[in-house]
Amino acid sequence: MRVHPLPTMQTIHAPRDMQETALRLRREGRRVALVPTMGSLHEAHLSLMRIAREQADVCVVSIFVNPAQFGPGEDFERYPRDLERDAAACREASMDVVFAPSTEAMRMEKARVYVADDTVSHTLEGQFRPGHFRGVLTVVAKLFHLTLPDVAVFGRKDAQQLFLVEKMVRDLNFPVEIVPGPIIREPDGLAMSSRNVYLSEPERRDALCLHRALKAARELYARGQEDARAVKEEMAGIIHNTPAAKLDYAEIVSERTFTPVERLDAQCRAVVAARVGAARLIDNAALSDQEI
Ligand code: AMP
């Protein structure tokens, strides 16, 4: 059954209104896609919206800067926010609903029931951002309950997040299909991020070291290197040699478990994180991927 798109894009603020709309859409037999975001939308978010548009009758974009996934001293307060511009971008991308709840209405800081994972939440991003993934998984579960999507689109840029959301969906039987979107980069290779606005011009150039490190990893693998340690050292070296960059980690993980490997194979992903000026940047690439 082909159902017609909703007439005009709606912006919904109250979680209860969102859930009532979602229940009505479900009763009408609509197929709903969710694109969860923290707003400050850029080309990468738009690419996820295009994927959503292909997947569903009704596309919902959530815009919520989730306090529970920021640690003390992180950038929750100054994270860029511009709902008007974001809503215009969603309308332009033929989205049907923007769900933009207030911090208070989502009650993240009051929640004492969480979704916490016990596998890789405390390594890599989780090691540098304690509590981050508990905040992420809890808000994603809430967003799923409020928007009742058939499919949800997540970017590969946040590879560990994507891994954990897929795991949550499997382990807790959420009736949601997770569709990954490819990493979208600036022409020079810098992965798009709302946090790139923190970079000064020279920092912006130094930020390219993450992409350079990933390219080097891929090239070493393509030339037959199988020792993960050698590749990690090469990646770390590239970032250490960039004056403004401070390495958090450069690791090679298995796609299946998101845990570090010793020997490389086609199911491996290189993951890097570094601070450049006031921005903390992450990036990753599958070793077998030709296009990064
Ligand atoms: P954010 O608004 O940064 O929380 O991101 C919302 C969604 O967009 C997440 O699924 C991210 O993985 C995805 N995303 C952000 N930047 C990129 C990018 N450069 N390429 C692909 N997906 C991205």
One digit per residue, the tens of pLDDT, for the chain of length 292 reads: 445 556 799 999 999 999 999 999 999 999 999 999 999 999 999 999 999 999 999 999 999 999 999 999 999 999 999 999 999 999 999 999 999 999 999 999 888 999 999 999 999 999 999 999 999 999 999 999 999 999 999 999 999 999 999 999 999 999 999 999 999 999 999 999 999 999 999 999 999 999 999 999 999 999 999 999 999 999 999 999 999 999 999 999 999 999 999 999 999 999 999 999 999 999 999 999 776 6
pLDDT of residue 91: 97
The best mutation among 99, 157, 163 to test binding of ligand 1, ranked by most ligand atoms within 8 Å of the C-beta, falls on: 157
Token output for 33 = 């896609």
The residues assigned a catalytic role are: 45
pTM: 0.97
pLDDT of residue 289: 79
**Ligand 1 site: residues with CB under 6 angstroms?**
37-38, 44-45, 48, 154-155, 157-158, 181, 183-184, 191-194
Type and span of the H or E element at 84: helix 83-92
**Dist CA 286 CA 292 (whole Å):** 9
By the 10 Å C-beta count (0-12 exposed, 13-18 middle, 19+ buried), 140 is classed as: buried
pLDDT of residue 135: 98
Tell me 75's DSSP state.
Answer: S
pLDDT of residue 4: 56
**What is the residue with the minimal CA distance to atom 21 of ligand 1?**
183
* 93 C-alpha to ligand 1 centroid (Å): 16
